[in-house]
């Protein structure tokens, strides 16, 4: 599946720290689509991951999806029906839990200017996030796979770093 087949409004979902924001930025750079990181809409800037009020997040989300050209990364299943109604393509990053955990720790320790980060905030290793990646992710992964199977849009499922590297290469994307 090529980026052109996914159209001008692409949703990217997957477990925490699977590379969604990095992929969204690479696609945006290559195609000119606007990158939208749902974490930046859901959490208040310059905080330690303090969520916005639910109504405010939903309004920001709905405003973002009203645009004609975007690549959006994040899960937030409560708002997924509206997002999928506007999307023209879907990417599921389905990499291993161990790789997600490695990526999380690496981003906290080394990637201080990472894509999709909260403005004015810095990621820190937190036990709650480690627990989320190692425990909750398996249930989320099953749910994401079921969502993927039910979607009628052009879609691609990426299940390994090798497959992700191939997707980057096939589509001329740069990290």
Domains and CATH numbers, the chain: 3-170 (3.40.50.300)
Q: How confident is the model at residue 60 (pLDDT cuts 50, 70, 90)?
A: very high
What's the gap between Cα 36 and its chain centre?
9
Nearest alpha carbon to residue 104 among 42, 2, 18, 40: 18
**Phi and psi at residue 67, to the nearest 5°:** -65, 160
Residues 122-127: contacts with CB under 8 Å, at least 24 apart: 124/48
What percentage of the chain exceeds 90 in pLDDT?
65
* Cβ(26)–Cβ(169) below 8 Å: no
C-alpha 85/C-alpha 168 separation (Å) is 26
Whether residue 161 contacts residue 169, with contact meaning beta carbons closer than 8 Å, is answered with no
Over residues 67-86, the mean pLDDT reads 96
pLDDT tens digits along 93-121: 998 888 888 888 887 787 766 666 566 56
Q: Are 137 and 15 in contact (CB under 8 A)?
A: yes
Instruction: Report CA 113 to chain centroid distance, whole Å.
Output: 17
């Amino acid at each position: 599946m090529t980026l052109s087949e996914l159209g001008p409004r692409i949703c990217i979902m997957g477990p925490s720290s699977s590379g969604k924001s990095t992929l969204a930025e690479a696609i945006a750079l290559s195609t000119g689509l606007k990158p939208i990181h749902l974490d930046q809409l859901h959490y208040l800037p310059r905080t330690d991951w303090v969520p916005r009020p639910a109504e405010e997040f939903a309004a920001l989300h709905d405003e973002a999806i009203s645009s004609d050209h975007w690549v959006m990364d994040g899960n937030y299943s409560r708002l997924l029906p509206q997002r999928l109604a506007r999307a023209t393509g879907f990417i599921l990053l389905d990499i291993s839990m161990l790789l997600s955990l490695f990526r999380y720790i690496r981003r906290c320790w080394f990637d201080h200017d990472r894509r999709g980060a909260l403005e004015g905030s810095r990621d820190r290793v937190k036990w709650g996030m480690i627990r989320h990646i190692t425990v909750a992710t398996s249930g989320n992964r099953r749910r994401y796979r079921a969502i993927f199977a039910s979607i009628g849009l052009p879609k691609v499922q990426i299940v390994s770093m090798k497959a992700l590297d191939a997707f980057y290469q096939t589509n001329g994307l740069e990290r």
